[in-house]
Structure 1
């Protein structure tokens, strides 16, 4: 805990609050808010924060819906290819983020119709959802396995079709797992940057890509300030997700 969490975050927070960090000068003599002033005064940096929040919220909602459908079809249906569908849902875990981003870049360039979303936050939402399907599937699938299949059979005997059974019986019981899936997808989307490296353009920046640009320029103070803001937003979201939604966030 000390070496992997406390030390790292203490270093980030400390660098964000000083003009220069050195063991030769006491840090309390170098305290400043200039790094945060740079972030709040820049429209580009603030836009990256807004974009990250919007992408995470919308992407997590859409991703939770599609992951739930995939899990239900793979585990609670008579679909002929349900087993290959489950393997396909887990496949993105094996693809490195940088390769996934490069693949999306070429897909947007060559496939007809996708050019309309190139350079927008929507291509990032699509890329993040497809990349983190295994995370959501791993959240919903175990909870779905704990729901007895006799509920499905009872509903079918009563005359309900598959969709009615899923929406009226299974989904309400699955609600805690859906909330947890939404929370985990939000956190992963909010911190993601590798996949977006090839896909973002001016106007669709996110926090991760902005930090990469700042690191390349050697602006470590604003990078730490932006990372501090990212950590605070994540902590607030986790608190609200646990308190309001009752989400259980593990892993």
Structure 2
């Protein structure tokens, strides 16, 4: 019996090119980072990592990225819902503005946010009167990460939401479900894989963000100094071991977190019978 041919031939060649490209672009550079950091030995690795300044910067980077990604999931879903389900004046303009953080240079975004939320800024001056500082605090960092991360959630959820047939909601309503039950039992389970994807993308972008954050962060050691800035500082001091050690820790934590997100996506996709976007 002849072997059944594939619908699209050339799988072996395509896989070979894929693995070679992935190795050259991702695996080999990341391996070099690990090898460089391991060259100082475990004692040197832990000595660098146990620095309070590094620990504080890692905590700040990951905590603000998590908070910003969580906020983007909520408001990104609401924005995507409005763009898909409603027609209103200026809809095309708002839809185009969603992609603006992709095109805007991160340094420009950081300067604009700093001018807006500083003590003398258009928005910051009003918060200053009630004793809340935004610029040069973790709050300002979180706002910057929300700004650059919102398109990932909207553009991930939007096509999935557009594919959901309104007949599903009508059927749920006909069967006696109220609006809250329709949202929680019908719509959200279908959107869950794409929401997790958007959350993961926004989180990954936030952890490694540099340009838009350094202007509004203030870069105060132990307070508002993010891990990417600390890596750049170590490189400028020719401390390659310290820079690669911080990078390795960020890579490992990010990889584990994204792996958990992917597992949750698979679980959610199996429950709904849909493939994660």
Fold equivalence (TM over 0.5): yes
Which TM-score applies when normalising by structure 2? 0.76
Deviation at residue 209 of structure 1 after TM alignment: 1.3
Question: Is the alpha carbon distance of 1:231 and 1:125 closer, same or farther for their aligned partners in structure 2, counting shifts above 3 Å?
Answer: same
The aligned counterpart of 1:17 is 38
Question: Is the alpha carbon distance of 1:244 and 1:163 closer, same or farther for their aligned partners in structure 2, counting shifts above 3 Å?
Answer: closer
The aligned counterpart of 1:72 is 81
Structure-2 separation of matches of 1:167 and 1:73? 18
Q: Deviations over 1:89-109 (max 9, x none)?
A: 122211011111111111122
Q: What pairs up with 1:25-64 in 2 under 5 angstroms?
A: 31=41, 33-40=43-50, 42-64=51-73
Contact 1:93 1:132 in 2 (8 A): no
The aligned counterpart of 2:256 is 236
Over 6 Å off, 4+ runs = 155-164, 247-251
Question: Is the alpha carbon distance of 1:161 and 1:91 closer, same or farther for their aligned partners in structure 2, counting shifts above 3 Å?
Answer: farther
Structure-1 separation of matches of 2:52 and 2:228? 16
Structure-2 separation of matches of 1:161 and 1:69? 19
The aligned counterpart of 1:88 is 97
Deviation at residue 2 of structure 1 after TM alignment: 2.3
Instruction: Indicate whether 1:185 and 2:185 are aligned.
Output: no
Q: List gaps (5 residues or longer) in structure 2.
A: 1-21, 270-274
The aligned counterpart of 1:143 is 160
Deviation at residue 57 of structure 1 after TM alignment: 1.4
Which TM-score applies when normalising by structure 1? 0.84
Question: Is the alpha carbon distance of 1:243 and 1:70 closer, same or farther for their aligned partners in structure 2, counting shifts above 3 Å?
Answer: same
Q: What pairs up with 1:192-207 in 2 under 5 angstroms?
A: 192-201=209-218, 202=220, 203-207=223-227
**Backbone CA RMSD of aligned residues:** 2.8
Q: What pairs up with 1:70-219 in 2 under 5 angstroms?
A: 70-109=79-118, 110-111=121-122, 112-115=125-128, 116-152=133-169, 166=183, 169-201=186-218, 202=220, 203-219=223-239
Q: List gaps (5 residues or longer) in structure 1.
A: 20-30
Contact 2:141 2:217 in 1 (8 A): yes
Question: Is the alpha carbon distance of 1:154 and 1:89 closer, same or farther for their aligned partners in structure 2, counting shifts above 3 Å?
Answer: farther
* Matched position secondary structure for 1:118: coil
Structure-2 separation of matches of 1:241 and 1:205? 27
Contact 1:183 1:241 in 2 (8 A): yes
Q: Deviations over 1:26-58 (max 9, x none)?
A: xxxxx4531441231x21110011111211211
Deviation at residue 184 of structure 1 after TM alignment: 1.4
The aligned counterpart of 1:8 is 29
Q: Deviations over 1:193-223 (max 9, x none)?
A: 1211212231022211111221222211100
Structure-2 separation of matches of 1:151 and 1:83? 27
Structure-2 separation of matches of 1:250 and 1:154? 24
Question: Is the alpha carbon distance of 1:158 and 1:239 closer, same or farther for their aligned partners in structure 2, counting shifts above 3 Å?
Answer: closer
Contact 2:69 2:149 in 1 (8 A): no
Contact 1:55 1:121 in 2 (8 A): yes
Structure-1 separation of matches of 2:193 and 2:27? 30
